[in-house]
Amino acid sequence: MKRDALLFLLIPLLVCLLLSGTFIMLRYDTRLYSAESYHHVRMAHLIRAHGIPTYDPLTGQAYSFTPLHVLLAILPDKLYAFLPLALALISLLLLWGFSRNYLSAHHAALYCLLLVMSPVFLYFSLILSSTSLFLTCVLIAFFLLRQRTPLALLSFPLFILLAFFPIPYLFAMLALFVSAHLLFKRHRKRLGWAAALFICTALVFQFIQMLYVGIPKYDLPTPRLFLENSITEFGGLSSLGFFYYILAGIGIFVSLRMKKKYAWMYAGAFLLFALSYFYHSLLLLAALYLCYFVLIALGYLFRRAWQVSSLRTLTLFTIFCGSIFALTLFINQLTVLPPSPELLQTSSVLQHQQEGIILSDLETSTILASLTEYPIVIDLYPSYLMDKAGRRERIASIYRNFSLTATKDHLTALNVSYIVITPEMKEELWEDPDDGLLFLLRNTETFHRIANVSRIEVWEYLPVTG
Amino acid sequence: MKRQHWILLCIMILTLGVRLFYSLSEQEFSTGSSYFIVRQVEHIATTGAPMYHDALSVGGRIYSFSPLYVYVLSGFWLLSQHFMMLKIVSEILLILLIPLCYAVAYRLTKHMTTSLLIAAVAGFTPFLYLSTLNELTMYSLALPLHVYLIWIFMDIKKPRAIPMFIAGFMVLMLTHPSVFLFLAAAFLSMLLLWVADQPLVRREIELLAFSLFFGIWFHLILYKDVLLKAGVGFFWQNLPEYLLRNAYTGVNIFEMIYLIGVLPCLFAAFVFYRYLFREQGRNLYLLISYALVVLILLWLRLLPANVGLTFLSIVFVLMSAAPLKTLFELFPNMKSAVLTNLFTVLLIVIFFMSSLIPALYYADTKRAQAISPEELQGYAWMREHLPQDAVVASSREEGPLLNYYGIRSVVDPDFLLITDSSERYEKIRTLYHTTSITEALRIMQEFRITHILMSQRAQREYDMERLAYTQDPCFKLISTSGGYLYERVCILEERS
């Protein structure tokens, strides 16, 4: 029986390994996935060179500590591409172990498979992110907490470590404690101690960090942005397919008959999903719960005796097709995830120029800062940036303005030396090739084109000439 | 054929006659968007596939839509390439509502007079004249299909009902995304039944579950590009904010009563009261749910007012069947047979006339909106005299018309897959309203607009009399037929 269970476990593990592994190998040794990975790599290199900083020299804002940077600083660069996959596989193993307490071997395997097939899990198995490390640490910590006494003690250092993650993760941890409190019949005292230890450490650490770096200012998303980021069919990457949400809804409805049994699930799913509105990466944690509800819904649809059996077959086939469709869309998006090979070429062109501040879109700026080590106007994570709103206004004005005088004023104020225009910017920011900044770039001598690498244009700003 | 079927046929012929009288009395259509359909029909007739990419819009356009309606029309277009053919087919499709409404009313009441009266009133629903007469709209096919699904769903226990339902559902799915309106209503009716402690029919739930998943999957595939580009804005058809405020504006109750008709609204209110709070009516729950779903969507501004009212007017007429039957059953209890007959005739006349008179009024209004011969002359002139790369700024409605005549336009009623639709529309509005020649030239250059058309339609849409800057030598009046057409003769050069 135990061997059968292990065989079932192999299915999601292999699927994860095959899917993520293929994508990693497609870019191995050349590019990482997403700008976020490049941001973490840059910070890790900074720590490796100068120890833990208080200030990020390339963005001009205070540095906020996260354990991932330390881990990356310790690891050799060659392993960066594989780290997310390794963390995903460990998490999967632990989740399987957890679910085996409540589910049969094949149901536990199906749960893991549903998770592996969800875009959000795949996404975090490819990019370097604090969320993947946080999830693995949380799972190990809770796994150890449920063991016999000497082993359980090992969980406490992990709970202390979890307190060093950025603020949104601390709220997620509280949500997980609430959920665990409702789930655990035994070990509640231990859980209480772990929570107390975590909260105290987090409070002390955050207090000290705030003294050094100030209070972070996170951008609040709009409901529309949240929906578009959370649903794969709307183009979201760390997201779940439409069918997953519908099935999760059915699962919640079906499980209401045993609401006491599933109270921990409702609490966890609701709190984490609500938190993911404010900090989108936390959708990965919410997905752990939502996939469980999807499993319940699928079980219900499978087991229920349908009056028209052909409708059951058709419905399940449609669900399967819909899930595959979401996965295909996600893979389609993944293949064009930055950086493109052209952006790498652009960065090497820039590296041959004199150092200067780069202006581009947020993702490109973040990647270029990591590749060239040149300063940038703003990156994807400006939580500690002074005058964030002012900078954004200036940037918007630069992109839209037809007046050279106004554009020059803004560029000088931001001390910009290079402007990098990507095809995505051309598509999203301007209607026409002769609109706003594009018009000025082409028709004045204030800007000099350094390179044009497959539609990525690099312009140098020459304030004196114009 | 039974007597009631003859009467029904007469009602259909009468309604078709009236609709065709108004529709065919004008050579052209009443809306610009009809010409988009005509272009699609012509494209299918020549290539066999709908035109999903259109070069006659600045920067090119990609369209996404359910294609069945245009395929149906193009089949007839092959027989006769005349607008009249399209108008006749479109009206015949809509007339199918009458037998279907009769069938639904009969299933609800088992009362022939009521059912026939409902069929007659459905044919003369006032708002239907305003929203579908003398134009090519997918609702001409979608509305009868909705009523067909309601009819089938009311008796889903029959063995043949499931394949018939699935077939109807697929056809509606291929016609219009409003299929989700039916699904929402059906699920809500299940909920009402559950709340009313009535037994749920399992095959209904199973059928709805399959339809929901299949419908979503189909539309996810069909509108994949739109969903990726417009995101959640897809639900509002990516409309610019300004239009969103107007098109999706909440409809107040008095306006609704005026547009739908007093009696259907009164009867529907009675059904709401009686069957939601006092009695149970399994089949009526579906109609009540339909009305509730539309009302909620209108209230939440998720459904354009004209679409919502079109559906509501049909649903309210169908809901009227139950109180009408009650009234008809009251009359035989009267002492005098003369009185009974008098009241019966009076009720029929009042109910029918209360729909007929406003319907004819709206039909006249719609006919007056048809493209005039002067406007046609203007477009023909443009086709002959404007250069091939000319881009004309116009009202939204005129966009598809210009395209039909081979002229490039900047705006049209379809904003799906347009990047930054709000900004584009705002700028075009500014182009018409601005008093600054520099601003006008800048906007024209931005969208490569070479000409600006100041017609009555543009005056109506942009709510203004005349362009403020046309006296400037930068603009030259080149045509006055069907509106003033100005040509831009200057180029704005920005200096530092």
Sign of CA dihedral A109, A110, A111, A116: positive
Min distance B235 CA to chain A CA atoms (Å)? 11
In DSSP terms, A452 is beta-bridged to: A457
Q: Where are the alpha helices (DSSP H) in B275-304?
A: 282-299
B144 or B130: which leads in pLDDT: B144
Partner B, chain A 430-449, Cβ-Cβ below 8 Å: 431-432, 434-435, 439-440, 443-444, 446
User: Are A233 and B224 an interchain contact pair (Cβ–Cβ within 8 Å)?
Assistant: yes
Pairing of strands A447-453, A456-461: antiparallel
In the predicted structure, residue A52 carries a pLDDT above the cut 60: yes
- Mutation target to probe the B interface, by most B beta carbons within 10 A, among A253, A300, A314 is A314
Residue B346 has which token pair?
């009076």
Is pLDDT at B346 greater than 90 in this prediction?
no
What residue ranges do the domains of chain B occupy?
A: 3-368, 373-488
Unique residue bearing structure tokens 């655990």 = A184
pLDDT, one tens digit per residue, over A103-115 is: 888 899 999 999 9
Model pLDDT, residue A451:
87
Average pLDDT over residues B317-325: 92
Tell me which residue in A235, A432, A444 faces B231 most closely, judged by beta carbons: A235
Residue A466: per-residue pLDDT:
43
Q: Which of A144-148, A270-274, B108-112, B323-327 has maximum average pLDDT?
A: A270-274
Confidence of residue B248 (pLDDT cuts 50, 70, 90): low
User: Residue A259's pLDDT is what?
Assistant: 87
Write the residue in A224, A321, A446 that is nearest to B231 by C-beta: A224
pLDDT-above-90 percentage for chain A: 59
**pLDDT-based confidence at B364, cuts 50/70/90?**
very high
Structural domain spans, chain A: 2-28+81-335, 341-461
Q: Kindly report the average pLDDT of chain A as a whole number.
A: 90
- Spatial separation of the C-alpha atoms in residues B483 and B375, rounded to whole Å: 7
State how far residue A321 is from chain B, nearest Cα, in angstroms. 8
CA–CA separation, A146 vs A188, rounded Å? 10
Residue A465 has pLDDT above 60, yes or no: no
CB within 8 Å of B451: residues ≥ 6 apart:
B382, B386, B390, B391, B392, B393, B478, B485, B486, B487, B488
Q: What is the pLDDT of residues B370-379, one digit of tens each?
A: 988 888 888 8
Summarize pLDDT for B156-201 with one digit per residue, the tens: 888 889 999 999 999 999 999 999 999 999 999 999 988 888 888 8
A317 interfaces chain B, CB cutoff of 8 Å:
no
Write phi, then psi, for B12 (nearest 5 degrees).
-60, -45
What value, to the nearest 5°, has the Cα angle with vertex B114 and ends B113 and B115?
90
pLDDT at residue A362, as a whole number: 92
Note whether A426 contacts B: Cβ–Cβ < 8 A: no
CA dihedral in degrees (B414, B419, B424, B426; nearest 10)?
90
The lowest-confidence range among A279-288, B118-127, B328-337 is: B328-337
Contact assignment for B220 to A224 by CB distance below 8 Å:
no
**Region A390-412 average pLDDT:** 88
What single-letter amino acid sits at B422?
S
Mean pLDDT, rounded, for A179-207: 93
Q: pLDDT at residue B240 above 80?
A: no
A234 touches chain B (CB under 8 A): yes
One-character DSSP codes across B107-151: HHH--HHHHHHHHHHHHT-HHHHHHHTTS--THHHHHHHHHHHHH
- How many percent of chain A have pLDDT more than 70? 98
pLDDT for B217 equals 95
Report the C-alpha gap between A350 and A337 in whole angstroms.
21
B228 in contact with A, Cβ within 8 Å = yes
- CA distances B178 to B245, B304, B310, Å, are 21, 12, 12
Residue A240: per-residue pLDDT: 95
The structure tokens listed for B429 are 């509005």
- Which of A245-254, B416-425, B478-487 shows the lowest mean pLDDT across its residues? B416-425
Q: From B227, which residue of chain A is nearest by alpha-carbon distance? A: A234
How far is B101 from B112, CA to CA, in rounded Å? Answer: 12
- Distance between CA atoms of residues A109 and B381, nearest Å: 70
Task: Give me the amino acid identity at B208.
Answer: L
**Nearest CB partner across the interface for B206, out of A243, A311, A439:** A311
pLDDT range class, residue B496, cuts 50, 70, 90: very low
What is the Cα–Cα distance from A190 to A404, expressed in whole angstroms?
65
Higher pLDDT, A306 or A121: A121
At A350, the pLDDT band (50, 70, 90 cuts) reads very high
Query: What are the tokens at B98?
Result: 């009458």
Angle, CA of A390, A393 and A396, to the nearest 5°: 150
Comparing C-alpha atoms, which of B224, B283, B227, B255 is closest to residue B104?
A: B283
Would you call A262 exposed, middle or buried from its count of C-beta atoms within 10 A (0-12, 13-18, 19+)? buried
Q: Which of B81-90, B238-247, B269-278, B334-343 has the largest mean confidence?
A: B81-90
Return the pLDDT at A172. 97
Q: How would residue A144 be classed by pLDDT, with cut points 50, 70 and 90?
A: very high
The pLDDT-based confidence of A375 (bands split at 50, 70, 90) is: very high
Q: What is the mean pLDDT of chain B?
A: 87
Above 80 in pLDDT, residue A300? yes
Look up the CATH number of domain A341-461: 3.40.50.12610
Q: What are phi and psi of B478, to 5 degrees?
A: -110, -15
Contact list in A for residue B302 (CB cut-off 8 A) is none
For residue B247, the model assigns a pLDDT of 62
- Kindly tell me if the per-residue pLDDT of B495 is higher than 60: no
Q: Which residue out of A225, A227, A234 would a mutagenesis test of the B interface target, given it has the greatest number of B Cβ atoms within 10 Å?
A: A234
CB neighbours (10 Å) of residue A335? 10
**What is the pLDDT, as a whole number, of residue A295?**
95
Residue B57 is predicted with a pLDDT of 64
Scanning every residue of chain A, which has its alpha carbon at the shortest distance from the alpha carbon of B234?
A: A234
Q: What is the mean pLDDT of residues A194-200?
A: 96
| Average pLDDT value for residue range A165-177 | 95
Is the pLDDT score of B251 beyond 80?
no
Distance CA B139, CA B128 (A): 10
Asked if the model's pLDDT at residue B494 lies above 60, the reply is no
- Chain centroid offset of residue B83 CA: 19
Contact partners, residue B61, CB within 8 Å, separation at least 6: B53, B54, B417, B418
Q: Do the beta carbons of residue B405 and residue B380 sit within 8 Å?
A: yes
Taking the CA of residue B294 and the nearest CA in chain A, the distance in Å comes to 22
> What does the DSSP assignment read for B74-90?
HHHHTT--SHHHHHHHH
